[in-house]
Every structure is written in C-alpha cells, then in structure tokens.
Structure 1
Amino acid sequence: MIVQISGLSAVADRYDGFVLDLWGVIHDGVVAYPGVAETLAALKAAGKRTIMLSNAPRRAAALIEQLTRMGIARDLYDEVLSSGEAVYLELQRRSDPVFAALGDALYHLGPERDRNVFDTLTYRSVDLDRADFVLNTGPVEIGETVGDYQSVLERALARRLPMVSANPDHVVIRQGKRITCAGALADRYADMGGQVVSRGKPDPAIYAVALAALGIEDRSRVCAVGDALHTDIRGARAGGFDAVLVTGGIHADELGIKWGETADPVRLAELARHHGETPVAAISKFVW
C-alpha cells in the first residue's frame, strides 16, 4: 500500500529541494488551490529549494505572471521551468539533431497566447502548405478535441512534416473539466506515422535542467510533487528521485474522490499498479 500523509511536513526532512507541478497541484488552471501560498511559505521557512516544473506550452515568464495573478507571490518559490521554455531553448540553440534539421518556416498549431515559444526567434509563422514543420502547443479553443484536428494532422502527414510538441500532457483538469492538450494531438500524429519530438515531463532531460536550477547535486535529496502518475511520477523516477502524488488532481475521478478528499488505499494501489508507478507517498492536496 502507498503511504498517505496529511501534508509535506511528514517527509520534508528527507529532502533539500522540491520539484512542483502546477496544474492539479498549485492551481486548477484558473485559481490557486486553498492553502497553496501558506504551503510554499512553509517550505521556504524550512529552507527548502523549490522549482515549478510545468508541461505548459509557453515560456516561464508567462507562468510567473499567471501565478502572480492568482495571488502566488514571486518570492514564495525559487525557479520556474516549463516544457514551452525547453522547446524555446531547443529551437534557439538547434543543438539537438532533430531540431537542427528543422527548417525556418513553422505552422503553429495552437492558440495565440502560446506564440512566445517562438515569436522572438528567427522563424517564420506560415500556413500549413508552406511550413517546414508543425509547432504544436495544443487546441486553439478550450473544449476542442483531437478529432477537431484530424484533417490538419492528415494534411501535415501528407507533406511528411515533423511535429515539435511543446506539451507532452494529454489532458489537464481545468476547474473540474478535462481539457485536451498538445500531447494528445502529438500521440495521434505519431500513431498515424508522423515524426514527433517533444520536451517536458516525463523526459529525463528536463529533470536534469530542473536539478541544475535547484543547485542540488544529490538526487536522493530532491522530491517531486505532482498529480499525474504517467508524467510527474514517471518522470521523477526517470530523473532518479522520489515523488509524492497529489490524489485530488488528474486521477481524482479514477479514485472516486473530489479535491481534498482522501483516496481509498485499495483503489490508490490499483491505480498505481495500472500505471506501473509507485510514489513514496500520497497526499490529498498540496498542504504542509
């Protein structure tokens, strides 16, 4: 059975730093969860380093602005890293062979708010018929599904365009509703035979960047806190450190609970076995 703890204070002494997910842990996409600011303050008071690590398909500065609007002051956490920031850096550096082979003309599959992933770089945003590759940041409108983009994916595949996905997540929970993300579009494209490259959780590479930002060399002294077994918990394991699962996030429906409720131990164990991932502990919500 997975140990369920009342808050992070039960395990905090084991770690010097925490890698914190955003959606499902810190906020629900619109507002911060109750008690988050106080929990971050407690981590800081305990001398713990923190980094917000999100699969959001936009740059870190945009996430900081969002957190500030939600009432999470900038001095409550140390660093911020996003999959969008990681993609931006890859597009800028072109050190990875896949990125180095991309052309300069991109088709942006995604909403205008995600343009900061590329709009200060030397790429041209063009229509699909003239593009060298697809930059996927997810559906344009909330509520759209993979099926809404099937024709776009088919056109891209007919031209054998590679796809860069700036968010590996399939879904997020936005105020209790499941919202399709870029990862679902990328997986459909890959299933169709398209070439896809992405950055973000659970890719071990992004955890190496996170650890460097924290300035902690001993991976056993770092713990991730996330709500998704297939990204947050799997990524932490791939990165070589522990993870605590927040049960009130993306898996709440599977566990038959609402945010803040304690999961049934048997159902939690079955869920972990299904995903093949076992966190060191579980908490109902992000609390100290």
Structure 2
Amino acid sequence: MDHLAGMAPLAPRYEGFILDLWGVIHDGVRPYPGAVKVMERLRARDRRVVLLSNAPRRAIAVARGMTAMGIPPELYDGVMTSGEAIYEGLFTRADPWFARLGRRAFWLGPPRDLPLLEGLDIDIALRPEDADFVLNIGADEAVSATEIAPHVPALEACRRAELPMLCANPDLVIVREGQRILCAGALAEVYAGMGGEVVQRGKPDAAIYPPTLALLGVPPERVLVVGDALRTDIAGAAAVGLESCWVLGGIHDLVGRTAEAEAEAAAAGLAPIATIPSFVW
C-alpha cells in the first residue's frame, strides 16, 4: 500500500468516492480541518461523492446534521446510512428475516434517535418480555456512553425473553471530540456472546453497497472507498471488491506508524491501496 500525505494523488485515478463520516469528515460535532476543502476540490474536478455512514438515523437526518456543521449538500451526491437500511427493511419486510419480526420493539438506545421509527408500523414495548424483537440503536448516555457493564442487565433481560436483535449500527465505538463512545455494535457483540440472535445492517455488510453504488452512479472499478475503520470501512469495501484508502488518524490513531498500520491490515487480511493521516488534500 502507498502511504500518502493526502487525497491529491488519488483524485485523478477515480471517478467516484464513497466517504465515511465519523473519523474521516467530522468528529460528530465539527468537520476535521481540511475535510471540507477536499470535498470542494473533488467537486471542482467533477468527481461523484456519496457519504456512507453507520449512523442509526435516516439519510435525510444525517444530511441535515452535515448542513448544520457547515458541510452543504452541494458537496455530495447522496447519503446512505445503516439507519436508512434498517428503516427500509422494517418498512418493506421484503427480507425474510425482517418479515418474521413482529411489530413490538424493545428499544436500546438514546431517545433522540426515536425519529428513525417515524412512518413505521412499530410500537415500543417498555419491557423485553412484551416485545417481539430488540432494536439496538446504541448506548444510551443516560446509562453509560463509555462503559459496557451498565448495559448488560438490559441485554440479559432481552436474552431471557429470547428476542432477536436488529442492530442499527455495526460500529463498536466512535470518537466524539476525542472521547471514545460505545456504539450498537459493541452491545450486539455482547448479546451474540450470550447466544442471542443478531442481524446487523451497515458496513461491513455487503447489502449496504448496492444502494450506495446506485446513488453514486459510477462503475465499481472507478470507485474509491475512504474510511478510518479496518473492521467496517476497509473490510466492507473488500467484501464487494472496491478499492479503499485508510485514514490512519481516525479510530485506530496510527498517524506516523505506517509499519504498525501495515501489520494490522495484514493481520486482518486486508489490503487498502493507500493510507493517509487525515482527510486532507
């Protein structure tokens, strides 16, 4: 893999870019220095750009959040999220696994994400024993944003009720303003360890890429995926045959440690075509 200082050498080689959000473009509060400039320069070169996030929210909600951060919709061609995939699955029930879920969900996650259910025929069950499945959005900060142990009693109750779990964000953690925050994937990992049934939507699940590529409208061989997480961004790209660029300054915090980065990628069986320290030009 090439170890580059920024995106400039890669821009001429691809027509379309699938960009991660957390850890690449922003930290959940504000854009990283230089990130908006990269998006502007890609657009100036008529490159197609789609944002792909494991956010457990509808795509329109993520787009509004980006605008509020100062990242206007003119800088990208579309947004796809794990939350959008969850919504589509629960709305259409076309997938056999979704089709067998009931209509009563036990909610695991912060109340601010409840708008995900707007327009769905889903009722919130207040107790696991009254639910048909558990909808895992992520760690509720009112319980704990950083520690898994306070969430275990709820997971145990769901397991006793033999609820299948639908996980709306496969990420284990995100970094928000320098703090590592638990995500739904961490809760799902514990639940699976208890013997619970878990289905996730979002990176690295291959099912998230066809709708993303449809938004992009570029042949796969001319697409570059840019992300900061080996387990989701880089592995997801590899699973569907897309080339990828690994941002070392995100969740892995490997800036300046390229030998260690190469070893981690090799241990995971992954081969991004390049690394960059951060999403800069």
For residue 279 of structure 1, what is the aligned residue in structure 2? Answer: 272
Give the residue type in structure 2 aligned to 1:78: D
- Please state how far the C-alpha of 1:66 moved relative to its aligned partner: 1.1
- Please state how far the C-alpha of 1:86 moved relative to its aligned partner: 0.5
Once the two structures are superposed, what CA deviation does each residue of 1:68-118 show, in whole Å capped at 9, x if it has no partner? Answer: 111111111110010001100000010111100000111111111211221
For residue 93 of structure 1, what is the aligned residue in structure 2? Answer: 92
**CA distance, structure 1, for counterparts of residue 112 and residue 145 of structure 2:** 16
For residue 214 of structure 2, what is the aligned residue in structure 1? Answer: 212
Question: Aligned with 1:87: secondary structure?
Answer: helix
Once the two structures are superposed, what CA deviation does each residue of 1:195-250 show, in whole Å capped at 9, x if it has no partner? Answer: 1111000011101111111112x211001000001110000011211000000000
For residue 134 of structure 2, what is the aligned residue in structure 1? Answer: 134
Question: Aligned with 1:183: secondary structure?
Answer: helix
Give the residue type in structure 1 aligned to 2:165: M
**CA distance, structure 2, for counterparts of residue 86 and residue 62 of structure 1:** 14
**CA distance, structure 1, for counterparts of residue 246 and residue 258 of structure 2:** 13
In the alignment, does 2:266 pair up with 1:264? no
For residue 78 of structure 1, what is the aligned residue in structure 2? Answer: 77
- Please state how far the C-alpha of 1:154 moved relative to its aligned partner: 0.9
For residue 244 of structure 1, what is the aligned residue in structure 2? Answer: 245
Q: How does 1:162-241 map to 2 (within 5 A)?
A: 162-216=164-218, 218-241=219-242
**CA distance, structure 2, for counterparts of residue 196 and residue 64 of structure 1:** 28
- Please state how far the C-alpha of 1:29 moved relative to its aligned partner: 1.2
Tell whether the 8 Å contact from 1:164 to 1:197 is kept in structure 2 after alignment: yes
**CA distance, structure 1, for counterparts of residue 146 and residue 11 of structure 2:** 40
Give the residue type in structure 2 aligned to 1:166: A
Once the two structures are superposed, what CA deviation does each residue of 1:103-137 show, in whole Å capped at 9, x if it has no partner? Answer: 01111111112112213211111112211110000
Question: Aligned with 1:10: secondary structure?
Answer: coil
- Please state how far the C-alpha of 1:175 moved relative to its aligned partner: 1.3
- Please state how far the C-alpha of 1:176 moved relative to its aligned partner: 1.4
Give the residue type in structure 1 aligned to 2:237: A
Greater shift, 151-160 or 4-13, is seen at 4-13
**CA distance, structure 1, for counterparts of residue 146 and residue 37 of structure 2:** 35
- Please state how far the C-alpha of 1:275 moved relative to its aligned partner: 2.3
For residue 48 of structure 2, what is the aligned residue in structure 1? Answer: 49
Give the residue type in structure 2 aligned to 1:140: D
Greater shift, 123-132 or 269-278, is seen at 269-278
Structure 1 stretches of 4+ moved >3 Å: none
For residue 29 of structure 1, what is the aligned residue in structure 2? Answer: 28
Question: Aligned with 2:52: secondary structure?
Answer: strand
Q: List runs of 5+ in structure 1 lacking aligned partners.
A: 258-262
**CA distance, structure 2, for counterparts of residue 286 and residue 127 of structure 1:** 42
Tell whether the 8 Å contact from 1:230 to 1:277 is kept in structure 2 after alignment: no
For residue 106 of structure 2, what is the aligned residue in structure 1? Answer: 107
Give the residue type in structure 2 aligned to 1:139: A
Q: TM-score, normalised by structure 1?
A: 0.94
Give the residue type in structure 2 aligned to 1:229: L
Once the two structures are superposed, what CA deviation does each residue of 1:27-77 show, in whole Å capped at 9, x if it has no partner? Answer: 011111111211111001111111110001111111111111111111111
Question: Aligned with 1:65: secondary structure?
Answer: helix
Tell whether the 8 Å contact from 2:146 to 2:180 is kept in structure 1 after alignment: no
**CA distance, structure 2, for counterparts of residue 143 and residue 280 of structure 1:** 34
- Please state how far the C-alpha of 1:143 moved relative to its aligned partner: 2.4
Question: Aligned with 1:8: secondary structure?
Answer: coil
Q: List runs of 5+ in structure 2 lacking aligned partners.
A: none
